Structures are given as structure tokens and as C-alpha cells.
Structure 1
Amino acid sequence: MCGRFALAVPRRLVAEALGVPDLPDVPPRPEIYPSQLIEAVFTARESGRRMAGLFRWGFVPVFLADSAKSRPMINARGETALTLPSFRAAVRYRRCLVPASGYFEWRGDAGGRKTRFFLSIPGRPVLALGALYERAVTAAGEVKDTVAILTRPAVGAAASVHDRMPLIVPSAAMADWLDPLRSAPADVAPLLALEPPPGLVASAGPGQPTQLVL
């Protein structure tokens, strides 16, 4: 899964990595939690322009916008996103990218203790996490812009920490990922199976000695 991540790099690096000139004015954050406002880059369907906005981390489907029992979902499994009612429209028409310096994950040992790792790619200051966004309007007129980060089976160093990892979109696939016209299930399915860029490492925390290497 992906329950916390970091984005603590200069804004120009985020803009360059995701190809968007105008970014929300958000300070660097060494640790970002669910329910917080996070940045996401998407393509406006009407203009075809790549844009960035702020979304609440915790996806709320349109049909649950007025439900008091709805539980915001921070992650969506890539393997089932095309079939689950909560995500199947968003994964076809409302894909986005969440910029991150890296993400945090915990590994438990036989004694029940957990070690926290920070996973990142040295020399790549910004990772693009594949995500889905939704805009739901309640009966009272409240607008809820929310987002979920997609996950996939973990590989390499990530698999040594946890069995799931965020879907990290390589630079070469960003245009296809953000293309709202690429919406047929047969065209979306390969995007959900993208392999992460090479070089992912896991360390005890940002700037700590590397322990695991992909």
C-alpha cells in the first residue's frame, strides 16, 4: 500500500518532472498523511491542457458523496480498478499523477516490531505516482475533490519491505497516463501494469544509508 509519502524538493523540479508550469503554492513536506491536501497533475478534458491542483487524499466515489458511512479510500489496487464500481470510471477518464520524493513503508519482524523504510530513486528527485481523482458534489452543494494512489504488487527492494507498492509511472508513459481520451479498458489495462523505473532503493529514512536495492 502507500500510506505516507514525502515531497520535499524545489518546486521547479516538480514542474520539470511532470511537465506542468503552474503549481499550487505548497511548502516542501517531508511527510504527507492521508486526509491532507496533496498535489495532483491531470489533463483537462475540455482544453487538453496539463494542469495541477489540490485534492484531498482519500477517494470518495460520486455515489457515496452524501453517505455518512463512506470511508475515504487512500489507495486503489491496479488489478481491480477497472472492475470495481468505486474506481472503474475514474481509472478510465480521471487518471492523474501525484508527485513524490519517495514513499514510506513499514516491515514487521517475527517479534512484532516494525522498521520504517523510505523508498526512493537516487538521482530522480521526483517520482510520479499513478492516481485517480474524483469530483463529487453533495446535496448541500459541497464540492469534494479527492484522490487515491494506485498500488501494484511490489517488486525488487519494495518487495523486501511490503507486498504492495505504489504504481510509479515512468517518464515515457506519462503522456499516455494523463491522456483522458485513452479510456478503452483494453488501452487502460497496460497502464495499470507498468513496471516502475529502475533504481528504487529502501533506506531507514530520507538521507539514511541504503539497505535494500532494486
Structure 2
Amino acid sequence: MCGRFAVTLPQDAMAQLFAARPVNDLPTVPNYNVCPTNDVHVVTSDSADRQLGSMRWGFIPHWYKTPADGPLLINARAETIAEKPAFRSAARNRRCLIPASGFYEWTKDEDGNRLPWFIHPAEGDALAFAGIYQSWDKGDAPMTTCAIVTTGANEPMGKIHHRMPVILAETDWPLWLGEAGHGAATLMTAAPDDALRFYRVDPKVNSNRASGPDLIEPLGN
């Protein structure tokens, strides 16, 4: 799964990296502790134009009468995304990229204490998570919401958690965004074993209220 991540890339650098035009109020960066229900950066495309916008992290199916009408859908499993009623239309027609500088995952020690790890790209400053999105208009104000697609972990990540976000290489962005025809389903696989690095970080990030650059500092530094 992916339940917490960090975004440190400046807005203009993010727009340049994804060749995307900023289109609405963007979340503040840096944010070292992006949590479910936060607004997140999202790249979408209409084939002729890429946009860098903001969406609520936590996918709301169209039949929900309120945002809390069912479980909070922050992740969509690659193995079942095409079958689940909540996700199947979005998987076909509303795919996006969700930029991140890295994400957190947890293991436990022998006493059951949660031990956080920060997972980041082996090269470069950013990751592009595969995402899907959905507009929801039954509340006082319409909102657009998203979920991160996940898959089974690669061998190194499997030492920390059995699942991981689908991370897309730059060459695959056009296909996922629908700019390069059909076949996006083939991209929903684990990243290569050498794509990521990880290290332990301070347990203070266990709190969703924690903030600051020290959250991603290696433990003991």
C-alpha cells in the first residue's frame, strides 16, 4: 500500500519535469508528511495538453452520498482495478500521475513498535505514482479525488512491505495518461529492483501531525 508520502520539489520544477501547465491552486511544498484526505499534486492530460493540478487524496465513488459514506479509498489494487465498480471506469478513462519525492512504509520490532522507513528514488528527485481520479458532486462543493495504484512489492521492498505503489518511468507517462493509445494495463507492475533506496527514519513521522525536513533524515543523523 501507500499511505503517506513526501513532496519536496518546487512547483515550477514539478511543472517543468512533467511538461505540465499549472491550472489551479496547488498544495504547498515542501510537504514532508502528505496524508490521506490532503490535497495532492496531480498531472492529467487531454492528449493535447498536460495539466498540473490539485486533487483530494481519497477516491470517492460516484454513489457515495457523503465523503464518509464508505471506506477511505486511498489505494487501488492493480490486480482488481479493472473489476472493482469503484475504480473500473477511472482505470479506463481517468488516469493521472501523482508526483512524490518518496514515501513511507513501516515494519515492526519484536515489541510491536512501528518502525518507519523512507523510500526514495535511486536516481533523480521525484517519483511518479500511477493514479486514477473521480469527480464527486454530491456535497456542498464539487471535488475531484484520486487514489494511488498499488501492486505486489519487488524483492527489495518486500523486506519492508508486501505491496508498493506503481511507479512509472518517464517513458511510460504518455501511455498511462492516455496520450499514446491503449495498453496502460501493462504498466501496473512493480518497479525494477534497483529503482529505489530506503532507510529508517525517526518514529515522529508515525504521527500525521508531524512536519519538517527532519522527517526524511536517516535515523541517527
Q: Indicate conservation of the 8 Å contact 2:137/2:143, yes or no.
A: yes
Q: Distance in 2 between matches of 1:90 and 1:120?
A: 27
- When structure 1 is superposed on structure 2, of 122-131 and 187-196 the one drifting more is 187-196
Give the equivalent residue in structure 2 for 1:144: 143
Query: RMSD over aligned Cα, in angstroms?
Result: 2.3
Which SS does the other structure have where 1:173 is aligned? helix
**Uncovered stretches (5+) of structure 1, i.e. residues with no partner:** 210-214
Deviation at 1:136, TM superposition (A): 1.5
Give the equivalent residue in structure 2 for 1:212: none
Q: Indicate conservation of the 8 Å contact 2:5/2:33, yes or no.
A: yes
Give the equivalent residue in structure 1 for 2:164: 165
2:218 aligned with 1:208, yes or no?
A: yes
2:21 aligned with 1:27, yes or no?
A: no
Q: Distance in 1 between matches of 2:193 and 2:12?
A: 21
2:194 aligned with 1:195, yes or no?
A: no
- 1:57-80 Cα distance to aligned partner (Å, 9 max, x none): 100011224575223311110110
Paired residues for 1:16-165 under 5 Å? 16-22=16-22, 24-25=25-26, 26-44=28-46, 48-66=48-66, 69-138=69-138, 142-165=141-164
The AA in structure 2 aligned to 1:174 is W
- When structure 1 is superposed on structure 2, of 127-136 and 12-21 the one drifting more is 12-21
Compared with structure 1, are the counterparts of its residues 126 and 68 closer, same or farther at alpha carbon in structure 2 (3 Å cutoff)?
closer
Compared with structure 1, are the counterparts of its residues 190 and 65 closer, same or farther at alpha carbon in structure 2 (3 Å cutoff)?
farther
Deviation at 1:180, TM superposition (A): 6.2
Q: Distance in 1 between matches of 2:144 and 2:31?
A: 21
TM-score by length of 1: 0.86
- 1:155-208 Cα distance to aligned partner (Å, 9 max, x none): 13211110111110111100101116745xxx2321223635833011113242
**Uncovered stretches (5+) of structure 2, i.e. residues with no partner:** 202-215
Deviation at 1:137, TM superposition (A): 1.3
Q: Indicate conservation of the 8 Å contact 1:78/1:152, yes or no.
A: yes
TM-score by length of 2: 0.83
Compared with structure 1, are the counterparts of its residues 154 and 68 closer, same or farther at alpha carbon in structure 2 (3 Å cutoff)?
closer
Which SS does the other structure have where 1:63 is aligned? coil
Which SS does the other structure have where 1:159 is aligned? helix
The AA in structure 2 aligned to 1:146 is T
Q: Indicate conservation of the 8 Å contact 2:95/2:133, yes or no.
A: yes
Compared with structure 1, are the counterparts of its residues 31 and 173 closer, same or farther at alpha carbon in structure 2 (3 Å cutoff)?
same
Q: Indicate conservation of the 8 Å contact 1:94/1:180, yes or no.
A: no
Compared with structure 1, are the counterparts of its residues 17 and 34 closer, same or farther at alpha carbon in structure 2 (3 Å cutoff)?
same
Compared with structure 1, are the counterparts of its residues 179 and 117 closer, same or farther at alpha carbon in structure 2 (3 Å cutoff)?
same
Deviation at 1:11, TM superposition (A): 2.6
- 1:1-51 Cα distance to aligned partner (Å, 9 max, x none): 100000012233322332214264432111111011111001136xx3111
